[in-house]
Each structure stands twice: as C-alpha cells, then as structure tokens.
Structure 1
Amino acid sequence: MDGNTITREELYEEVWSTPVSRLAPRYNLSDVGFAKLCRRCNIPLPPRGHWAKLEAGQKIDRTPLPKVEDEGEIRVHVPDPAEAAMKEKARMEVEAREAQLPKIEVAETLRGCHQLVSTTNDAFQGARKRDDGLLHSPEGSQLSLLVSREQLRRSLLVMSALLKAFESLGHKVSAGPKIEINGHSVTLSIREATVKVEEEFDVSKESIEGRYDFFSERKRKKQVPSGMLTVAVPEAEAYWASGCRRQWKDTKTQQIENCLNSIVAGVLAIAEKKLEHELKEKQEAIRKAEDAKLQRQQAAERAKKREEQKQEQQKLQGLLAQASDLKHSREIREFIIYVRQAHESQGTRIDVDSELGKYLAWAELQADRLDPAINSPKTILDEVIPDESSFPSYRRW
C-alpha cells in the first residue's frame, strides 16, 4: 500500500486484525465513514462482540472476503506521521486553551444581544426563502448566516454569545463577522444543512413543459432545512491551517450551544496559525530578497571575471600574434639571405632594379613590418577596407 491506495485484501486483513475504532483514524475517517468504505468495497466487518470474544480466548472464524469482478486498488487518504502529529498537537493546544476559558453560555432572549446580531435580526425580518427553504441573506445583514426561518433566532443567539466572548477576551469584532486577533482577522459563519425528502404533487397542476398531464399524484424529491447547524471558520480551509478544526456541527448527542468554548479556542488557534504563516511568509520574502541580492552580486562578480578573462585572452592572442609575426619575420630574413647567398655562390649579382631585386626589397619591407621591434610604416595590408554591405544602397526612382 502506498500513501493513497490499498488493495481489498490488505484492507480486509486490517479490518479483521484491528478494531474499527482504532483503524478509522488512520484513514482520516470516522467509524461510520470507515464502515461505509468497507461496505462500498464489499469487505465484511467483524460482527458485534467479535473483539470481546477474542479477548476471552474464543476461536472465531472470519467471514470470507467475497470475490468481485474489479479487484482494483481502493483510493483512500492516509495521513503521513508528520500530518497526524501536527493534528494531534493542534488538538491538544486547543483543549488546553479551551480549559482556560470561562464557560460561555447562550442567552435565552435576543434582548441585550450584540449590536451586529441586532442589526442582522432586523435585516432578516423581510428575508425571502430559497427553493430549499433557507433564507436569502438580505441587504444590511452584518453576519454570515444561511439558515431557515425556524433556526434564525437560535443562530443569532449562538453568534451573539460567540461575539461577546471574543470581545471579553479583548478582541475587536466587526461586520462579517470578523474577529481581530493579534492584528489578523478570522471570520465565522453559521450554516444549516438541508436534507432530501419526498413530497407529493399533482402532475395535472404542475407540468415542467407547461402541459397538463392528467395522472394520479406523484412523488418528487426536494431539499428542505434539517434544523442541524454548523459553525465554520473559512480560514481553516487554507493549507497553512492544517491540523486546525474547521467546523462544529450539531449531532444526535450534542448541539453547537455546548461547543462554544471549543469554537472560541479553535478560532484562537487558527488566528495563531495565521500569524505564524504570515511571519513565515515575511521571513521567506526576506530570504528570497537576500538570495536575489546575493545572486546579483555573484552574477556581477562572474561578469567582471569574464571581462577580465576576455581581456587576458585578447592580450594572449596579441602576444601569440606578435610571436608568430616575429617567427615569420625571421623566416623571411633567412629566405632573403639564402637567395642572396645562392646568387653570390654562382658569381652573379642581384640588381636592385631587377624583378628579383625588387621582390627581395619588398620581402625586407614585409619582414620589418612583421618584426614587433621595428616601427615600420604601414602598408595596404594594414588598412581596414569596409565591406560593400556596410554602405547604404541607393535606388533610382
């Protein structure tokens, strides 16, 4: 198994060797979610009382793993040890912070509620319902609420208790709501979940295509408010808030009114994470700026060295050229001496006006020209004559 996949056989072995209550957290799932995963993959779970019987020393046969057509790997999210440790540390910090907070109570009436709650309550009085029964957020609302008319009062009471709790801790609260903590804002929202139900309607009275269809009453599915509220912190969705709790929901055994201390502690933890993240970003920006500065300095030094190297190479090329010219100059002089001596050995004299005499005079001029120690006049060979392509062309109109 890698970090994201597991075979049915591997999961089957784990299910029958470790209780679901201990196995589910490894896959970042609840007990119910893990059981659904097993059922979806047709993996049998141990029956009730299985682990107690094992502890008692009883021998129990496993339910065989059924064969399926597709034995492909199952994709699951397996948190790595570092991620799990981070979440556990965040959980312990929130619990410690929560233990230090005074008990937060929800008032029984909206009288004396927070000003943002009072303003929002007034704005929602004329709010229209959506198709799913939740209220459209009206103009003038100061809070992020998406709830039904039946859960509006309850949502406002919860929000008022939270906002007052944050203010009692010295944090500024503004529309949104935004809670200012150490110069950084964290927002809150309350949402009501919807559920799918069936309702009966008369097809003869309502036709999607605008026609009358005389049939008996039929059923259709629609979304309706569930009465179950969730308090969420949008900032917790950010990658830097890994390990922080994102939301608190109503359950069958607990309502969000009993989670207010946990919510406040969780928001404080998220604000702290946000501060740490921004500090890291600033440090990273400083580091990148310093790296860029160092790279520019190093680039300038390399450019300087390249220029020095280029100049040194040019000097060397000049030296080699002069050495080559000197060699050629000496070879030409030796050639001139050789020709003169050859003629003298034959008893002939080279006339300066003869073709050979003129050629040898020209050769001496070239030897002087190539000799670095002699400052000889320039010849046509030293002139730089521009190529025709460097001159503009003129057309006759």
Structure 2
Amino acid sequence: MMMKFTREQLYKEIWETSARQVAIKYSLNYQKLLNQCKEISIPLPGGKYFYNRQHGLDIDNLITPLPDSKISDIEVEKQRSRIQKKETVVEFEKDKRINTEKTLETDSNQNKTINKVKILFDRDTLYSSLNFLEREKKDSIIKILSEFEISESKRLHKKVITYKESIIAWNKRVKASERDYYDPRYQRNDLSQPKFIKDVSKEQLPRLYRILDMLCTIFEKLGEIIIDDLRIQIGKDIVSFEVIESTDKVNHELTKEEAQQLVKYNDEVKRHSYASKPNIRKYDYIPNGLLRIKMSNGKYIKDTKSNKLEDMLPEIVILFYQCYFEIRTQREDWEEAQRKCEEAKQKARMLQERIDQEKKKTREFLNMLSDYKLADEIRKFVGILKDSDKADQETIEWMSRKADWIDPTISAEDELLGKREHYKSDEEKNKFLKEEKYYW
C-alpha cells in the first residue's frame, strides 16, 4: 500500500518533526521514505538542527531550503508488519528518534498472548554515535540491536538471578540482625550489601531486575563479558554503572517519638533549664519510581514522563560504549605514559651502566699504572743497590722478580703469591699482602 504526499508537504513535515516521526505518524516504511527523499532531493535535517531547535538556539544557518524539482508528488510505501500497538517515541542522541514497537504473538500450543518489544532506531545516527569503534563492531551492534526483542515472560539472566538471590539473603539477614541478641533467630549481618539496593526502593526492584536482565542479555550477545558484580567487561576494560531511583523532596512529617521529643524540649525551655534541641530533619526524600543509569564518568540516562529506560536500549548501548571508549583512552594514555617513563628509566639505567663501566675501567687503568710506576721505582732502587754493593745477589734477584710480578706489562706469576691482580686498588692489593693469623 502506498501513501501520497506533495513534495513541499513532506519537506515541511520532516523539518518540523523528523523523518522518523513522519514514518511513525503515517505508518510508512522508514527506509523507503529515506530513499525516496534522496531520490527527489528532499534535504533531511541534521542533528545540530534538532539540538539547537530543542534548546532554543539559532537554527537559521542550519536550514537547507527545498531545491527546485519537476517532481511535485511522491508516493511512499506503507509499513507492512504485525504491529498491533506502538509505544511512545523517545529522543535519541541529540536529534533523532527511537520508536519501540510492541508486537503480539500467539503461542498456538498454550493459546496465550506473549508481549515482545522490538526496538527501531536510526542506523545512521547510531553508526555516527559509535564512530570511535571499528566498522565490524558497529555493524555487529546494529545487527544485534535490530534483531533484539524484549520479552516480559523471558527468564532472567543467570547473573541477575544470582543478584536477586543475594538481595533476598541480605533482607533476611538484616531482619535477623535486628532481633534481640538473645533471640535464637538472631544472626549477625556480616554479608556485603548488594549493589544498587541502597539507591532503589523495594517497589522498583522488579523493574531493576528487568533492566539488568536487558543489559546482561544485550551485552552478552554483543560479545562482552558480564562480571559477577554485574559490571561489563568490554575488551580489556571494565565499565561500571549505577542504577539510581530519583526522589521527591517533601516536608518531613513528625513521628510520634519526634513529637514527644519536641514537647519535652519545649517544656524544658519554659522552665528556663538547659535543653538540647532534638535534631529532626526538615525534609523527607521519597522515591518516585523514576530510575536512571549513571556511568562512572558521570553521564547518565533516565526515565522521562513519557518514556522508560526499557524503551531506550540503543541510547543505553551508546552510553556504555562511550564510557568504555573514555576508559580505554585513559588506560591507553596511562600505559603510553608508563611506557615512555619506563623507556626513559631504561635509557637512564643503560647510560648509568656505561658511566659506571667507564669509571671502573678508568680505575683499573689507574691501578695498573700505579703498579707500573711501582715496578719502575723498584727497578731503579735495585740499580742503586747494585751500584752501592749494599745487597747480596739473592736479594737483588728477589727484588727483580717482585718488580716483574708487580709490573702489569710482564705480570710474572709468583710461586707463592700467584698472579697479581693489577686492576685492584692499592688498598685491596696491600690488604692481600698483609699477614693472616691462623690458629692451628
């Protein structure tokens, strides 16, 4: 079935809402609508246009006029589907729209109706929002999101079941720990408090389980790892998040005990006696059922008046991968800084080793030179002794042998002292020549 528009009418409606909204409004095949607009040169608004328009900013420079064309009318194919009911449209990224469509399928075996939610989204916008990922990864995300269905009757993910059981155990332990110490049912609460329950009311726990199940299921399908504490490991990095319920600020209603404390305080003031005013809060913060998913980088996505988190899966996926990219970038920057630091340390170590080696070599050379000078002095001294006839021949020969032993150019081996280690310092060589005491 086809639907007919004038070219000007279609241009006007698209720029007033969006191509997605027009497709939803008239039940058109969205992809066919985009193709038809391209064929007859109807310009489509960009993301910045919708962002500026939504925030009251200037959009004059962002409007692309409708070019002239000989074509005046356009026919667009209507959407053929089993859709029974359409949920509310939610904002996507800065400018686009997502529509969740609820399909009704009949189970012929059990004769009952099963509600399934399928997500429709603008592929181009999603693709551009994930431009930091590899092409194959983006294609995989789009494919899996296109096929993903949320079923109310689906069994919870095993990680969520474990998490749910931990909350049940925690609540039982809290109740047991509040009993009288001598009550046989008393039990000290030494369990770790499950995450999220501090910020989510008991009434919203079923929703929390469904949202966590949706996240675990989609990210597992995307090839990521669900850690036991429900954080998502993407590649080498772990993405943390919180689920928080918003609260309404209302005036605090006095409890019976607080009212009694105030009466007692006022009576004591009237008697002019010292009284410490009871510390009673002015406001209560009542959970209102609106949940938000907050990432470790501070960014979040939340329920609105018309849309729930369950309808915002593509936005949530984008938020997680954007957070992952920030974490990965920080890790890679840190690793690069560590690598450069280690490289600088290694260069410094190698330079220091070369310096130390050069120093050692120089010391050894000076020690050898010291031996050479000492041997030369011994030979001069031997010559003087020969001329003065003040030493016998045996002593002169002994001295000459010691000069040859000390001289590094000869380095004769002594029958008792072995070879002299010329490279050692004078202190070390003199220590070697000291007499040693033995106890026999």
**Greater CA radius of gyration, 1 or 2?**
1
Q: Which has the higher contact order (CA 8 A, sep 6+)?
A: 1
Q: TM-score range by the shorter chain?
A: 0.3 to 0.5
Structure having the larger proportion of residues in strand: 2
Instruction: Tell me the TM-score normalized by structure 2.
Output: 0.40
